[in-house]
Amino acid sequence: MKFLMAIITLIYSNQALAVDSGINPASIITFVLFVLFTLGVSYWASKRTTSSSAFYTGGGKITAGQNGTAIAGDFMSAASFLGITGLIYTAGFDGLILAVGALAGWPLMLFIISERVRNLGRFTFTDVVSYRLQQRPIRAIATVGSITVIIFYLVAQLVGAGKLIELLFGLSYEVAVLFIGILVMVYVTVGGMLATTWVQIVKAVLLVLGATLMCILLLVMVKFDFNSLFAEAVKVHPRGELIVQPGSFFTDPIQAITIAITMMCGLLGLPHILMRIFTVPDMRTARKSVLYASGIMGYFYGMIILIGFAAIILVSTNPEFFVDGQLIGGTNMVAIHLAKVLGGDVLMGFMSAVAFATILAVVAGLIVAGSATVAHDVYAELICKGKPEPEKELKLTRIAAVSFCLIGMGVSILFQKQNVAFIAVMPLVIAASVNFPILILAMFWRGFTTRGAVIGGVVGFVSSVSLIVLGPKVWVSIIGAESAIFPYDYPALFTMLAAFITMFIVSKLDKSAAAEQDRSKFDAQLIASELATDVSAASDH
């Protein structure tokens, strides 16, 4: 409490840290209430976080409704609310590609992945892929992929948070990042997954309620006439009727496909999303969790469509939001500007604070996943060979959480002038090209071998980084070349395909004794994944 009050005092008293935009009182009040509540939750959770299992997964006792809401909260980042709205404002129909790509992954998670992952793993997705494959090499490549994804995703969130708060709350970028980092450090180190879950639940509820209120106010304004809403958007948008047709912005169909693939398969390889499946007591609850999450996100993305098209009408035609012909804050701020049109400074302040809370929740989930990767996958399984000292493992988990926070804060300050879109692309492409292929083939293909997983994972990782560097976001935007060597921003369609092909060929050619052992364990894994047998008894865990 004293720390929080000190920060608030600092905001008002130290003008050197403020920017010209000033501070919206509604934003401050909403955010202070959110922080006070979640700090209370962290204190409550700390009394129940006494083991590594409680820290990683909340003891596996979280209900389906709670976990489904938390999963939705984990995935509905500020990029979803601000970024996709901004893209719809710019491109109309084509802006839906990101939303459709994100939603398309959830049926696969619901019907194909969730039950098997819950039955085969304990704390991380690495437990699943190492069930029948050789522990050390498979955990090594899976850990590299997971930590890389987590760090890049973490930095992207913190850089975006710094810029958002710099604009909306009147803080300097560095203080904004410091504030977020310290708060998340408290959430995670004190309360672990249980506290993080409730932070995500509260944030998801606030975000959905805020978006719902915006849509109700909007529909009242247009008298619930959807046709007039879209017709008016066509009238005022520079692209005219093209905004309600595909191909107006992404003219190359390959670009549209690879973006959708990156979003869909990248989601299924994100460690902090997969980790949430282990927080429930059984596979039935895991399936229900994903079902609830799918429903919440489907409802949310439906509202994003309305908000995006409404912004075309109410923001693009309002000179209040433009300076020298440029939209204040860029297109990522159109949802916030729309909130001001619909509900004045109060609604704008509320949605600004919710966007900030969204970033806090996502960062907390990433830190928990990163801590589990270091303490469980590296220390407990690789170094201690599955027999760690519980007290040391829990202590290392908290040290890892603090370390990830400090690394994220430091790198995000160094990267504050870099292209945020580039940073955000990296984790999704790597997750789709390394984690996703290994996970799918390990669970569903008898012929998959450890050698195929490792070599294919390396191919997916190297090709992902290489093609992103050679693509427009780096080669043109950062390096300054006239044109990119590789034409697409999101190369997962190519890098994921390269990883799958490599894994298939190498596994087929692998005739070693170790490969035969990998294949021989497939039947036991299949039974365990379908019947929820005790994985600790049936494997080397």
Beta carbons of 274 and 117 less than 8 angstroms apart: yes
Q: What is the pLDDT of residue 447?
A: 94
What is the b/e burial string over 487-521, where b = at least 16 CB atoms within 10 angstroms of the residue's CB? ebbbbbbbbbbbbbebbbebbeebeeeebeebbeb
Whole-number mean pLDDT of the chain?
82
Q: For 60, left (φ over 0), alpha (ψ -120 to 50), or beta?
A: left
Read off the pLDDT of residues 374-418 as tens digits, 9 standing for 90 and up.
888 888 887 887 777 878 888 888 888 888 888 888 888 887 766
443 compared with 417, residue with greater pLDDT: 443
Residue matched to tokens 């008898």: 446
Residue matched to tokens 């990101």: 98
Among 23-32, 246-255, 343-352, which range has the highest average pLDDT?
343-352
Read off the pLDDT of residues 94-151 as tens digits, 9 standing for 90 and up.
888 877 777 788 788 877 888 888 888 778 888 888 889 998 898 888 888 888 888 8
Residue matched to tokens 């995500």: 200
Q: What is the pLDDT of residue 473?
A: 78
Q: What is the pLDDT of residue 539?
A: 41
Beta carbons of 125 and 56 less than 8 angstroms apart: no
Q: What is the pLDDT of residue 418?
A: 63
- Residue 8 pLDDT greater than 60, yes or no: no
Beta carbons of 307 and 315 less than 8 angstroms apart: no
- Residue 17 pLDDT greater than 70, yes or no: no
Helix, strand or coil, per DSSP, at residue 327: strand
515 compared with 164, residue with greater pLDDT: 515
**First-last CA distance in the chain:** 42
Beta carbons of 437 and 500 less than 8 angstroms apart: yes
CA 111 to chain CA centroid, Å, is: 21
Nearest CA among 407, 436, 464 for reference residue 185: 407
Q: What CATH homologous superfamily does 18-538 map to?
A: Sodium/glucose cotransporter (1.20.1730.10)
CA 227 to chain CA centroid, Å, is: 34
Q: What is the pLDDT of residue 497?
A: 96
What string of DSSP letters covers 389-418? -HHHHHHHHHHHHHHHHHHHHHHHHHTTTS
- Which amino acid is it at 140? A
In the chain, pLDDT over 90 holds for what percent of residues? 20
Read off the pLDDT of residues 454-504 as tens digits, 9 standing for 90 and up.
999 999 999 999 998 898 877 887 788 888 899 988 899 999 999 999 999
Q: What is the pLDDT of residue 440?
A: 93
Distances (CA, A) of 476 to 68, 152, 334: 40, 20, 26
Query: What's the mean pLDDT in 428-445?
Result: 92
Backbone torsions φ then ψ of 209, nearest 5 degrees: -65, -45
Q: What is the pLDDT of residue 110?
A: 77
- Residue 303 pLDDT greater than 60, yes or no: yes
Read off the pLDDT of residues 212-256 as tens digits, 9 standing for 90 and up.
999 999 999 888 888 888 888 889 888 888 888 887 777 888 888
- Token digits for 384? 């201690």
Helix, strand or coil, per DSSP, at residue 326: strand
Nearest CA among 434, 371, 451, 313 for reference residue 151: 371
- Token digits for 265? 């398969």
Q: What is the pLDDT of residue 541?
A: 42
Q: Domain map of the chain by residue range?
A: 18-538
Beta carbons of 289 and 67 less than 8 angstroms apart: yes
What is the b/e burial string over 335-347, where b = at least 16 CB atoms within 10 angstroms of the residue's CB? bbbbbbbbbeebb
What string of DSSP letters covers 121-166? -SSSHHHHHTSSS-HHHHHHHHHHHHHHHHHHHHHHHHHHHHHHHH
- Token digits for 313? 């009408």
Whole-number Å distance between alpha carbons of 57 and 154: 20
Q: Look at 11-15, 62-66, 323-327, 374-378 and tell me which has the smallest mean pLDDT.
A: 11-15
Nearest CA among 59, 123, 533, 60 for reference residue 281: 60
- Token digits for 83? 């970024």
Q: What is the pLDDT of residue 491?
A: 92
Three-state secondary structure along 438-457? HHHHHHHCCCCCHHHHHHHH
Q: For 324, left (φ over 0), alpha (ψ -120 to 50), or beta?
A: left
Read off the pLDDT of residues 166-201 as tens digits, 9 standing for 90 and up.
766 677 888 888 888 888 888 777 777 777 888 888
Count of other CB atoms within 10 angstroms of residue 292? 20
Q: Look at 387-401, 425-439, 503-517 and tell me which has the smallest mean pLDDT.
A: 387-401
Nearest CA among 230, 275, 470, 241 for reference residue 369: 275
Band the pLDDT of 9: cuts 50, 70, 90: very low
Beta carbons of 157 and 183 less than 8 angstroms apart: no
β-bridge mates for residue 355, sequence order:
none
Residue matched to tokens 């997954």: 193
Whole-number Å distance between alpha carbons of 258 and 336: 29
Read off the pLDDT of residues 288-299 as tens digits, 9 standing for 90 and up.
888 898 899 889
